[in-house]
Amino acid sequence: MKSFEVNFDGLVGPTHNYGGLSFGNVASQSNSQQASNPKEAALQGLEKMKALMDMGFVQGVLAPQERPDVAALRSVGFGGSDAQVIERAAKEAMPLLVASCSASSMWVANAATVSPSADTADGRVHFTAANLNCKFHRSIEHPTTSRVLGAMFADQDHFAHHAALPAVAQFGDEGAANHTRFCRDYGEAGVEFFVYGRSAFDSRYPAPQKYPARQTLEASQAVARLHGLSDEGVVFAQQNPAVIDQGVFHNDVIAVGNGELLFHHQDAFLNTEQTLAELHGKMAARGANFQSISVPRDQVAVEDAVRSYLFNSQLLTRANGSMLLIVPEECRANPRVWQYLQGLIASAGPIAEVKVFDLKQSMQNGGGPACLRLRVALNEKELSAVNPGVIMTPALYETLTQWVSKHYRDALRENDLADPQLLIECRTALDELTHILNLGSVYPFQIN
Ligand code: SUG
């Protein structure tokens, strides 16, 4: 049976803004308070989806969330009508209003961890929504994420959904941003690679000193258990705490993998040799030939990786078996990174081509091409069980670009978030979107 890796990209929501909400994420902190352009952000994202579809990849779309999240504001004590809740939060606790307005669900690499059916004990595709509990603005995503994923992957014969892990820092889980699956073919059993930043219960593991380690070993282990993965099919590795302190807040800022290949920075992991040897051994036992490309720090420093998002790229297998790397414009703007990439393509290795995309609106919040997509490996039967409304087609692309042009503002600053009209605009747009994508009722304003 044929199998595919489908990229489901997060559609940028109407409240995309620069709130400076993510301590430890250099771009988020340094662009705080700038004016954003939600319309441009959404169109940039759609452009990437269309380009992948045009290249022959199966491309999906994941809906944004209702923001401002009035229910989140009510849960911390703001009352009255929806407009009054927003007005009071703006007056008394602007940082909470900003957090409740974040369009951060666009970075769907953090929406969930997904294990394909070939890896799981019950032969279904498993999803665990990420609790994202390191940051308030992200911790409020998972209930809607679960409903949206449930509406996209509804067939229980093929898809199993797990609620987010317990909402405590000890089970901090950031989803697929710290998870990579290696395999020979998407439909064959592979090796799932979980990268954590610290251990919550075992003090022998080192931890970063300056910035938070968002993912714990215990959360990664819990997800592997929930998904019914076998010991032969998993590798756990610790991220180098020193790079977290340099702004590598997720492993996908310093490494990306696909098929049999891991593309990573020399300093990405704590015990690199041991990690690579384990991956090699477990892949060999699956009949696969694991390969890795280590980018040396004297060619690309960690700081260059963080600024350019070289590793927050999409590594895709083309029909002829060679690989394509989708990188953001910021890679072309960095001479060391760009030179490295030219050498990489010329080396006749597995990565044959680099394509550059303008994702500046998202990049300024620390979200590159890889952050914007959730990968779901599916066989033909499973693909036909996915809600067809969320699979990108030329017609859907046209509809969504028109929908964005109709509903989105082209500038948003902090004081605009206090405008109760923004909530009405957002709900109107999302109500229409649930019809376009055939999702049913998934938003709090639709179900309460
Ligand atoms: O969680 N930025 C996101 C970026 C997530 C990137 N995802 C991956 N690497 N997979 C975050 O830090 C910033 C929002 C703001 O500052 O307005 C933010 O949430």
Of the candidates 265, 371, 414, 426, the residue annotated as catalytic is 371
The alpha-helical segments, DSSP class H, found in 200-240 are: 217-226
Whole-number Å distance, alpha carbon 298 to ligand 1 midpoint, is 28
H/E segment holding residue 242: helix 241-244
User: Binning pLDDT at 50, 70 and 90, where does residue 166 land?
Assistant: very high
Structure tokens at 121: 């004990």
Please compute the mean of the pLDDT values over residues 181-192 and round it to a whole number. Answer: 98
Of 34, 10, 40, nearest to 20 (Cα)?
34
Binned at pLDDT 50, 70 and 90, residue 118 comes out as very high
18 lines ligand 1 (CB under 6 A): yes
pLDDT tens-digit readout, 408-433: 999 999 999 999 999 999 999 999 99
DSSP per residue, 337-398? HHHHHHHHHHTTSSEEEEEEE--HHHHTTT--TTTTEEEEEEEHHHHHHS-GGGB--HHHHH
Which amino acid does the sequence have at 429? A
Per cent of the chain over pLDDT 70 is 100
Rounded Cα distance, 144 and 70, in Å: 13
Residue closest to 8 by CA, chosen among 107, 140, 136: 107
Q: Give per-residue pLDDT as tens, 297-351.
A: 999 999 999 999 999 999 999 999 999 999 999 999 999 999 999 999 999 999 9
Rounded CA separation 291/257 (Å):
10
Confidence of residue 448 (pLDDT cuts 50, 70, 90): confident
Clarify whether 414 is annotated catalytic: no
371 a catalytic residue: yes
| Per-residue pLDDT, 381 | 98
* Domain ranges, ordered by start, for the chain: 3-67+102-447
3-67+102-447: CATH number = 3.75.10.20
CB 15 within 8 A of CB 36: no
Does residue 250 line the site of ligand 1, with CB under 6 A? Answer: yes
- Judge if the beta carbon of residue 367 lies within 6 A of ligand 1: yes
Contact 375, 6 (CB under 8 A): yes
pLDDT at 152: 99
* Average pLDDT estimate for 63-77: 98
> Which atom of ligand 1 has the smallest separation from the CA of 370?
10
Residue 187: phi and psi, rounded to 5, are -90, -5
| Structure confidence at residue 109 as a pLDDT band (50, 70, 90) | very high
At residue 7, what is the residue type? N
Does any ligand 1 atom lie closer than 6 A to the CB of residue 176? no
Rounded Cα distance between 126 and 109, Å, is 15
**In DSSP terms, which residues pair with 292 in a beta bridge?**
262
Rg over CA atoms, the chain? 21
